[in-house]
A = this chain, B = another copy of it.
Amino acid sequence: MSELRKDPITRRWVIIATERAKRPSQLSSPSPVTPPDMPARDPKCPFCEGNEAMTPPEVAAYRHAGSQRDTPDWWIRVIPNKFSALDTDTPLERIGEGMYDMATGFGVHEVIVESPRHNHTWGTATDREFEEIFWSYRDRLINLMRHPALRYVLIFKNYGKEAGASQPHGHSQLIGLPVVPKRVLEELESSEDYFRYKERCPLCDVIRQERADGRRIIHESEHFIAFAPYASYLPFQIMIMPKHHDPFFERMEKGQFMDLGRVFSRVFRALAEVLGDPPFNCVLHTTPPASAGDERYNHWHFEIVPRLTKVAGFEWGSGFYINIATPEDAAEALRAKINECDEAECSAAHAERK
């Protein structure tokens, strides 16, 4: 029997079509986003090491000692988006046009190139590579949030054409805005409502319930939990967040960065293996520092959505979704794959020691 489920944060109702639910194998990507024969370097790719001159000058980079700006020998490189619709040279003005509100195109749009290698993917990245990506997120967040006119910094990754990526070379993007995006604002407002009623953070309550139930948990580490949300609106939707209440991604401790790297490498390897390197989107929701948002009820998190099915426009015209896979099945498949990989590694390490 199908079920209607409501997400406690977004308040979205979703049909979970349990009766005609698809198995993971029926959902997997028709072809891998990054084929195994993709070269490690593409002479025409602006994000590849050696092609630094093809991009605008870098705004930040993690480089090996002695290397020069806009030359090779880096492992993460942040550059302005060449086709940005926003810039900080435009003075920010907020203007009323009759009953409408507008603002000038003030803002920042940057690209975080995640590796000098063209064929680097999240499905094969190491713990340490993820950790470095998260450090770069943190550094840009701290740097840009100093700007008094930027009210929110949105960090996201589109992987694969189906997910909106225009470059195959692995990268994240960052958009700094003079306004708070609708979905983020909705979450803040809805969390505030919940807090007023219960005096508890809603995502802390979600974690408690998910840990007690267990069916939707994908992975747990010392500091983090990865799970399939109860009212997942798309198949294999994943949330990753700190187990203890924390409003600000950028204030994580060093040990947490390491731990988060381990969680991502496990979850994304499993996702790539179970679904055949599918396209996906990953969005970081953290608390805007300049907002009136109360730190007691905002809980930072990553939202990850593989793009396995076509989303009909009526779904975003109505906010009503039909999900043809259950989060319980998705979590089970990913959890089993993580355990299998961990065991394989463990016995490999064991064999090595012998």
Does chain B have a CB within 8 A of A15? yes
**Interchain CB contact under 8 A, B311 and A20:** no
Hey, what's the 0/1 contact readout for A10-42 against B, CB within 8 Å counting as 1?
111101010110000000000000000000000
Residue in contact with A100 in the complex, picked from B5, B100, B162, B177, CB distance below 8 Å: B5
**In the complex, chain A residues 78-110 whose Cβ is within 8 Å of any chain B Cβ:** 83, 85-86, 90, 97-107
**Interchain CB contact under 8 A, A317 and B156:** yes
List of B residues within 8 angstroms of A173 by Cβ? 314
Residue in contact with A1 in the complex, picked from B10, B105, B156, B280, CB distance below 8 Å: B105
**Interchain CB contact under 8 A, A319 and B15:** no
**Interchain CB contact under 8 A, A164 and B314:** yes
**Interchain CB contact under 8 A, A312 and B164:** yes
**Chain B residue with the shortest CB-CB distance to A318:** B181
**Interchain CB contact under 8 A, B158 and A312:** yes
**Interchain CB contact under 8 A, B179 and A312:** no
Residue in contact with A85 in the complex, picked from B230, B231, B322, CB distance below 8 Å: B322
**In the complex, chain A residues 297-344 whose Cβ is within 8 Å of any chain B Cβ:** 303, 305, 307, 310-320, 322
List of B residues within 8 angstroms of A13 by Cβ? 177, 179, 181-182
Residue in contact with A154 in the complex, picked from B103, B158, B305, B318, CB distance below 8 Å: B318
**Interchain CB contact under 8 A, A209 and B98:** yes
Does chain B have a CB within 8 A of A258? no
Does chain B have a CB within 8 A of A186? yes
The complex places the Cα of A69 from the Cα of B101 at a distance, in Å, of 53
**Chain B residue with the shortest CB-CB distance to A184:** B318
**Chain B residue with the shortest CB-CB distance to A6:** B101
Residue in contact with A303 in the complex, picked from B102, B186, B307, B317, CB distance below 8 Å: B317
**Interchain CB contact under 8 A, B103 and A3:** yes
The complex places the Cα of A90 from the Cα of B2 at a distance, in Å, of 9
- Known contacts A13-B181, A99-B205, A319-B181; A283 and B4 CB within 8 A of each other: no
The complex places the Cα of A165 from the Cα of B316 at a distance, in Å, of 15
**Chain B residue with the shortest CB-CB distance to A178:** B4
**Chain B residue with the shortest CB-CB distance to A97:** B230
**Interchain CB contact under 8 A, A183 and B317:** yes
**In the complex, chain A residues 218-241 whose Cβ is within 8 Å of any chain B Cβ:** 230-231
Hey, what's the 0/1 contact readout for A261-273 against B, CB within 8 Å counting as 1?
0000000000000
Provide 17 A-B residue pairs closer than 8 Å at the C-beta atoms, listed in order of the A residue: A1-B90, A2-B85, A4-B106, A4-B107, A4-B179, A11-B182, A13-B177, A15-B86, A17-B85, A99-B202, A99-B206, A100-B230, A100-B231, A156-B317, A164-B313, A183-B320, A283-B313
Other CB < 8 Å A-B pairs besides A4-B106, A98-B212, 20 of them? A2-B86, A4-B177, A11-B182, A13-B182, A17-B85, A19-B85, A20-B83, A85-B322, A99-B206, A100-B231, A154-B318, A156-B317, A165-B312, A173-B314, A175-B320, A177-B320, A183-B319, A184-B318, A303-B317, A311-B311
